[in-house]
């Protein structure tokens, strides 16, 4: 058989398996992105193999347990009944028709992109890959990663995108805690290395996602995700700077935002806070600033917003110090309770949470730190921070025992009347308590 016919036959077989709902989906990285996607593919009847290097996650999933609050054990167990299983054995890569990479892309100590998770994943999978597989990268990264990092590695193993395999980039758009938009509801952007790659990738995701948004290339798809997150970063940086200015002028920024939001056009309300959290907004803009330097472009606007947002935990700590000082106390030796450990309300995700940095900064100044978060009962393992703490149960006696309470994450589950009535000093970073009481300080 001629080589061209062989490769066409290989992709035709993949296309038929996808179209017939017989494709086996392999998800690499079973975190806040990969696990919801794995469950969604299982829900629509596709066989799913979940890969993760953390044996604890693999063990919990195969036992029908969940380590993500919003993904119930019942959903895990139902997916298992439909054929979902987790493994740390990358040799099983050959069993999957589609390989979807959902691993972290952090920054290194110099705030430069760290693609080690992507590279390690593809290097571990490649010895077990075969012709006729689809590879999709979902991890947020700089434009060109799919073409410049993944494609050459595939070709080195005889896998040529568009000929005997397919390669696409389709950025994750998960929004933990959003009650209106789950995995299936959020439109899915996708770009392919070739038109046939795009067609195959779109056909696969259409099983699980209601709306597909194809774009002209993997680079366009990569840039789309960065624009989404940079848009938010810049606007949050703006409103955080406005908060500092308003505070100096004795103006309540939350009142101003609410008033401005009554304009029916030309204004979108963004809320200030103690800093940026989650795995996207604090990190992703710097992927573009790093790549832009290769083209001789300085992304000053993006970097300025990043500087402002990065400064906010330090601003909160300065407000805590001033508030304690006004009451004749120093940060050193004070007992401080941080309310909310997650990066946003009503979830258990603490990645890049400003609350954690605030705790670290205050502890470094000599404060005795505790935290309370109904969604995070035990302080999680982290690369850069370690607190041997468990969540404090809120009651009148506990609140009264602290010199200061810092509201870092405004979970709806907190009893704010209890907090306001029994805490001697509250520093509110979220505008949840309007500061009408003399012991509430806006930050």
Model confidence band, residue 335 (pLDDT cutoffs 50, 70, 90): very high
Instruction: Give the mean pLDDT of 325-330.
Output: 96
Same-fold call for 3-216 versus 253-442? yes
The pLDDT assigned to 176 comes to 83
Fold of 3-216: Rossmann fold (3.40.50)
- The whole-model pTM stands at 0.92
Question: Who has greater pLDDT, 404 or 281?
Answer: 404
The pLDDT assigned to 345 comes to 95
Give the separation between CA 263 and CA 252, rounded to whole angstroms: 18
What does the DSSP 8-state code read for residue 393?
P
Helix (H) or strand (E) holding 295: none
What does the DSSP 8-state code read for residue 142?
-
User: Of the listed 102, 165, 197, 280, which one is catalytic?
Assistant: 280
The pLDDT assigned to 47 comes to 97
Closest CA to 144 of 201, 83, 87, 220: 220
Query: Is 197 annotated in the active site?
Result: no
CA distance readout (Å), 5 to 1, 19, 203: 7, 20, 22
Terminal Cα distance for the chain, rounded:
71
Q: Kindly state which CATH superfamily the domain 253-442 is placed in.
A: NAD(P)-binding Rossmann-like Domain (3.40.50.720)
The pLDDT assigned to 2 comes to 36
| Domain assignments of the chain as residue spans, ordered by start | 3-216, 253-442
* DSSP-derived pairing of the beta strands 188-192 and 166-169: antiparallel
What pLDDT, in 10s, does the model give residues 339-364? 999 999 999 999 999 999 999 999 99
Residue 422 scores a pLDDT above 50: yes
Instruction: Give the mean pLDDT of 127-149.
Output: 97
What DSSP string runs through 87-139? Answer: ES-GGGGGG-SEEEE-----B-TTS-B--HHHHHHHHHHGGG--TT-EEEE-S
Residue 28 scores a pLDDT above 80: yes
The pLDDT assigned to 207 comes to 97
């Amino acid at each position: 058989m001629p080589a061209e016919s062989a490769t066409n036959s290989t992709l035709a077989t993949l296309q038929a398996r996808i179209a017939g709902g017989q494709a086996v989906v392999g998800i690499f990285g079973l975190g806040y992105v990969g696990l919801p996607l794995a469950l969604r593919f299982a829900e629509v009847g596709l066989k799913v193999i979940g890969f993760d290097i953390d044996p604890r996650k693999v063990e919990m999933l195969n036992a029908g347990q969940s380590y993500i609050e919003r993904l119930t054990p019942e959903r895990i167990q139902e997916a298992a009944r439909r054929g979902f299983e987790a493994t740390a054995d990358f040799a099983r890569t050959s069993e999957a028709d589609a390989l979807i990479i959902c691993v972290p892309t952090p920054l290194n100590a110099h705030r430069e992109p760290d693609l080690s998770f992507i590279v390690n994943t593809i290097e571990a999978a490649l010895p077990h890959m075969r012709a006729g597989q689809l590879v999709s990268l979902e991890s947020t990264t700089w434009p060109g990663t799919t073409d410049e990092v993944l494609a050459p590695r595939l070709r080195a193993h005889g896998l040529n995108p568009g000929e005997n395999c397919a390669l696409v980039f389709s950025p994750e758009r998960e929004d933990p805690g959003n009650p209106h938009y789950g995995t299936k509801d959020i439109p899915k952007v996708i770009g392919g290395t070739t038109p046939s790659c795009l067609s195959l990738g779109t056909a696969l995701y259409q099983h699980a996602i209601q709306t597909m948004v194809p774009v002209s290339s993997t680079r366009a798809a990569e840039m789309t995700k960065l624009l989404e997150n940079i848009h938010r970063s810049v606007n949050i940086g703006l409103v955080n700077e406005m908060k500092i200015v308003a505070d100096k002028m004795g103006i309540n920024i939350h009142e101003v935002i609410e008033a401005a939001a009554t304009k029916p056009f030309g204004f979108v309300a963004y809320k200030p806070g103690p800093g940026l959290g989650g795995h996207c907004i604090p990190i992703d803009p710097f992927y573009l600033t790093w790549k832009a330097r290769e083209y001789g472009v300085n992304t000053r606007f993006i970097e300025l917003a990043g500087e402002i947002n990065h400064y906010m935990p330090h601003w909160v700590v300065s407000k805590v110090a001033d508030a304690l000082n006004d009451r004749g106390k120093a940060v050193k030796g004070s007992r401080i309770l941080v309310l909310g450990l997650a990066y946003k309300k009503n979830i258990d995700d603490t990645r890049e949470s400003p609350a954690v940095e605030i705790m670290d900064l205050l502890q470094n100044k000599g404060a005795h730190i505790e935290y309370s978060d109904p969604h995070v009962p035990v302080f999680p393992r982290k690369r850069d921070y370690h607190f041997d703490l468990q969540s404090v149960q809120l009651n009148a006696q506990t609140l009264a025992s602290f010199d200061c309470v810092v509201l870092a994450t405004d979970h709806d589950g907190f009893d704010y009347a209890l907090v306001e009535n029994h805490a001697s000093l509250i520093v509110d970073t979220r505008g949840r308590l309007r500061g009408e009481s003399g012991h509430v300080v806006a930050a």
